[in-house]
């Protein structure tokens, strides 16, 4: 019997073809509605491989249901939606899509910073809503970006690439990371600081840290209160890194000047969410890596990883380095 592959979102047929030529492939019928948990578990029971997205919670229930499951290929660099411990225990390889999305996500992150600083979305809506009556000296005046101080929290590859973008704007760049990166400091002129110092000194704070038990809710009300009142906070990492209520209160109280958010604690965010009522918040639907080119490459990488594991080869981008295939009876 051919190995069975289940894909949790509808993908273009031409991309899935290499899988279909080798394996039995089944795909959820929607590209924008998540597969219900009970269906996912039923599919996991039959599957040798799962192709998942970050909105799928690949928890103990799913992984334990997958008696034949050998690989989960997740269409994201982040993998906080997956229970890695159970995966490794069950001999399931977890693969992600690092590197291929770095530039695209950095572009979006810097774009979000620019949109929030220069009030681009607010201004575009102003014109479309017919509110533009005349030119005026301070009409929708935002904040300069050039020559300001940028603080990057989470200096992974995307952080480094955002820093590279920022050098073109003559920014002073601070960073905070679990590990210090002397070669990046040399190359880009970025300065390592404590989290507290970064938070106090930066004009723009960009959060790019992965979601882990240590980073969950790291941006509290107290942290926002330490920022300058002119600071703009950007989150392109994971929503749960921020205490959203605290962010809302800080914005409302004028403790910070604005926010650009690509990610939220609960996605999709409800349109009635108080954060979305604030004119100084730019909100995007988690599109960091969403360019046609990059999403296509990410899909291909997931497919390559599935094919590698099912054909007994090394996957290109394995997350759980302690993974060993189970000898199944």
Is 238 a catalytic site residue? yes
In 3D space, the residue among 131, 202, 128 whose CA is nearest the CA of residue 166 turns out to be 202
Q: Is 76 in the site for ligand DGY (CB under 6 A)?
A: yes
| Shortest Å distance, C-beta 317 to ligand DGY | 12
Give Cβ neighbours of residue 266 (< 8 Å, ≥ 6 apart).
239
Q: Cα separation of 123 and 111, whole Å?
A: 15
Which structure tokens are listed for 235? 């989150």
Give Cβ neighbours of residue 274 (< 8 Å, ≥ 6 apart).
248
Only one of the segments 74-82, 134-142, 277-285, 301-309 lies at the binding site for ligand DGY (rule: CB under 6 A); that segment is: 74-82
**Candidate residues 101, 190, 232, 299; the one interacting with ligand DGY per rule CB under 6 A:** 101
Give 77 or 257: the residue with its C-beta nearer to ligand DGY: 77
| Shortest Å distance, C-beta 100 to ligand DGY | 10
Q: Which residues of 121-130 are buried (b: 16+ CB within 10 A; e: fewer)?
A: bbbeeeeeee
Of the listed 9, 119, 165, 238, which one is catalytic? 238
Is 267 a catalytic site residue? yes
Q: Cα separation of 124 and 221, whole Å?
A: 31
Which structure tokens are listed for 91? 């001999």
Of the listed 222, 267, 293, 311, which one is catalytic? 267
**Candidate residues 5, 25, 49, 77; the one interacting with ligand DGY per rule CB under 6 A:** 77
CA dihedral 106, 258, 81, 28 (to 10 degrees): -80
| Shortest Å distance, C-beta 68 to ligand DGY | 27
| Shortest Å distance, C-beta 77 to ligand DGY | 4
Is 147 a catalytic site residue? no
Size of the site for ligand DGY (CB under 6 A): 8
**Candidate residues 289, 305, 317, 320; the one interacting with ligand DGY per rule CB under 6 A:** 289
| Shortest Å distance, C-beta 287 to ligand DGY | 7
The CA-atom distances, in angstroms, between 237 and each of 120, 144, 240 are 22, 24, 9
- Footprint of ligand DGY (CB under 6 A): 54, 76-78, 101, 286, 288-289
Residues belonging to the active site: 238, 267, 286
């Amino acid at each position: 019997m051919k190995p069975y592959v289940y894909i949790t979102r509808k993908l273009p047929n031409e991309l899935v073809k290499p899988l279909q030529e080798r394996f039995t492939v089944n795909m959820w019928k929607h590209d924008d509605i998540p597969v219900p948990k009970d269906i996912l578990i039923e599919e996991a029971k039959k599957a040798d491989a799962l192709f998942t997205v970050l909105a799928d919670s690949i928890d103990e229930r799913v992984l334990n249901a997958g008696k034949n499951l050998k690989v989960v290929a997740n269409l994201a660099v982040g993998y906080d939606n997956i229970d890695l411990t159970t995966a490794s225990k069950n001999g399931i390889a977890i693969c992600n899509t690092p590197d291929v999305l770095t530039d695209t996500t950095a572009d979006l992150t810097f774009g979000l910073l620019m949109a929030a600083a220069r009030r681009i979305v607010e201004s575009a809506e102003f014109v479309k809503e017919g509110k533009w009556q005349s030119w005026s000296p301070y009409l929708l005046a935002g904040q300069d970006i050039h020559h300001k101080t940028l603080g990057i929290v989470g200096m992974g590859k995307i952080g480094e690439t955002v820093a590279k973008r920022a050098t073109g704007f003559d920014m002073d760049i601070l960073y905070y990371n679990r590990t210090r990166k002397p070669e990046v400091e040399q190359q880009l002129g970025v300065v390592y600081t404590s989290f507290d110092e970064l938070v106090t000194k930066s004009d723009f704070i960009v959060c790019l840290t992965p979601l882990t038990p240590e980073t969950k809710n790291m941006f509290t009300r107290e942290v926002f209160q330490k920022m300058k009142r002119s600071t703009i906070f950007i989150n392109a990492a994971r929503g749960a890194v921020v205490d959203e209520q605290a962010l809302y209160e800080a914005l409302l109280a004028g403790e910070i000047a604005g926010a650009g958010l690509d990610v939220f604690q609960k996605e999709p965010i409800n349109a009635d969410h108080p954060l979305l009522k604030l004119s100084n918040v730019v909100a995007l639907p988690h599109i960091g890596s969403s360019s046609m080119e990059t999403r296509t490459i990410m899909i291909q990488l997931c497919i390559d990883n599935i094919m590698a594991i099912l054909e007994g080869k090394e996957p290109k981008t394995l997350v759980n380095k302690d993974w060993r295939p189970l000898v199944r009876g």
